[in-house]
Amino acid sequence: MQNQWTHIPILAPEIADLLLQNPDGVYVDGTLGLGGHTKFFLQRLSPKARIFGFDRDEEALSMARQRVSDERLTAVHASYTQAAKTLQKEGINGVDGALFDLGLSSYQLDNPLRGFSLLRDGPLDMRFDLSAELTAEKIVNEWGLADLERIFTDYGEDRNAHHIAMAIMAKRREEKIDTTFKLKNIVETVVRGRGKIHPATQIFQALRIAVNDELGAVENVISSLPHVIKNGGRAAVLTFHSLEDRLVKKYFKDLAAGGEWKLVNKHVIVPSYQEVRANSRSRSAKLRVIERI
């Protein structure tokens, strides 16, 4: 079943051009996923190069090892926030480049058992790391009204956060909300009519961010960059929604203002029209790159 999943690495040539300054270097792939970016990078790197690939998802790591099948890759079952600690254990004081792809793997979205997509019915899970305790089901069924409204507002930027939270509270008194379609249907009763984006999209995003503490992870990894990137090295961050991009933009600006880093691209890089046509999931991607000087 694993072989059915496909993953198209987003902005791979652009990232490689900006990140791979040393063909013999050591690099970090912060979200290994199915290994798409790493596989592309290794084609441009020498036999001496090394890539440390991090992922919280053991299924992804297993598939990445099979698909990349290269001794230059060291796959690590851990969040990218653990990169500095892992590299220190390996005796590496700094890397030449690091990519932090903050998006979901296509297989995570397409696999209904993971509960990320509202297009397919499945358990309301949304964990990157299946050993973690907190799930979307737990949040939806156990968290109070104020907390539900808060994450729908802060993480989903949803104008209907209060009414959706109220509807969830009412429905869960009748039955457990344990599938993606049950949650989707609740949102549809509150937000009538559909545009191009389903009304539950932002609610699903909010739950996913809360389950995996995504914004906290972004803050942790960016604050750890001085412990990961060596002088002359670069960090690239690929974001997929405005909350993450605003965080990265602010942190990069603050780092550059300190004088020890410089922005490689002052204006955000987005996929070309051709790439978006070939891979619609790339349409919201934004790339920012910074160099330690």
pLDDT at 3: 46
Q: For 119-149, how does the pLDDT look when each residue is reduced to its tens digit (9 = 90+)?
A: 889 999 999 888 899 999 999 999 999 999 9
Say if residue 141 is in the same domain as residue 168.
yes
What is the rounded CA–CA span in Å between residue 158 and residue 136?
A: 17
Please indicate, yes or no, if residue 240 is contained in any of the structural domains. yes
Q: Is the pTM of this model over 0.85?
A: yes
Beta strand pairing status for 286-292 and 229-239? antiparallel
* 23 lies in the same domain as 140: no
Answer yes or no: are the C-beta atoms of 99 and 19 closer than 8 Å.
yes
Closest to 51 measured CA to CA, from 83, 79, 81: 83
**8 with 101, same domain?**
yes
Q: Which two tokens stand for residue 172?
A: 């869960």
Q: What are phi and psi of 133, to 5 degrees?
A: -85, -40
For residue 21, tell me if it sits in a domain.
Answer: yes
Give the pLDDT of residue 143: 98
Domain boundary among 178, 213, 248: 213
Q: What is the pLDDT along the chain (293 residues), one digit of tens a residue?
A: 444 555 689 999 999 999 999 999 999 999 898 899 999 999 999 999 999 999 988 888 888 999 999 999 999 999 888 999 999 999 999 999 999 988 776 667 778 899 998 988 999 999 988 889 999 999 999 999 999 999 999 999 999 999 999 999 999 999 999 999 999 999 999 997 666 788 999 999 999 999 999 999 889 888 889 999 999 999 999 999 899 999 999 999 999 999 999 999 989 999 999 999 998 888 999 999 999 99
Q: How far apart are CA 80 and CA 83, in angstroms?
A: 5
Which residue, of 213, 240, 256, is where some domain finishes? 213
Nearest alpha-carbon partner for 219 in 245, 241, 247, 242 = 247
Kindly state whether residues 25 and 98 are assigned to the same domain.
yes
Determine, yes or no, domain membership for 35: yes
Residue 206 maps to which CATH number? 1.10.150.170
103 and 129 assigned to the same domain: no
Q: Tell me: the pLDDT tens digits for 32-87?
A: 988 999 999 999 999 999 999 999 888 888 889 999 999 999 999 998 889 999 99
Check if the beta carbon of residue 253 is closer than 8 Å to that of residue 265.
no
- The answer to whether residue 118 sits within a structural domain is no
Give the CATH number of the domain where residue 49 resides: 3.40.50.150
CB count within 10 Å of CB 23 equals 12
Domain residues for the domain of 256 are 2-107+215-292
Q: How many domains does the chain have?
A: 2
| C-alpha 258: how far from chain center | 27
pLDDT at position 194 is 61
Q: What is the pLDDT of residue 193?
A: 64
262 and 188 co-located in one domain: no
> DSSP secondary-structure letter at 123?
B
Does residue 200 sit in the same domain as residue 258? no
Residue 95 and residue 58 share a domain: yes
Pair (164, 81) in one structural domain: no
The residue out of 192, 213, 234 marking a domain boundary is 213
Q: Which of 208, 288, 284, 292 is nearest to 248 (CA)?
A: 288
- Residues with Cβ within 8 Å of residue 7, at least 6 apart in sequence: 33, 34, 35, 36, 105, 106, 107
* 172 in the same domain as 205: yes
In a domain? residue 112: no
Q: Are residues 101 and 219 in the same domain?
A: yes
**CA-CA distance, 182 to 141, in Å (whole number)?**
12
**Distance (Å, whole) CA 81 – CA 54:** 9
Whether 36 and 133 map to the same domain: the answer is: no
Amino acid at 23: P
Q: How far apart are CA 20 and CA 54, in angstroms?
A: 18
Q: Are 117 and 109 spatial neighbours (Cβ–Cβ below 8 Å)?
A: yes
| 225 within a domain of the structure (yes/no) | yes
Structure tokens at 61: 């790591």
CA angle 76, 78, 79 (to 5 degrees): 125
The reply to whether 232 falls in a domain is yes
Contact 132, 268 (CB under 8 A): no
Residue 191 within a domain: yes
Beta strands in the chain (DSSP E): 26-29, 50-55, 73-77, 95-101, 229-239, 261-263, 286-292
Q: Which of 126, 79, 115 is nearest to 100 (CA)?
A: 79
Strand 50-55, strand 26-29: pairing: parallel
d(CA 11, CA 178): 36
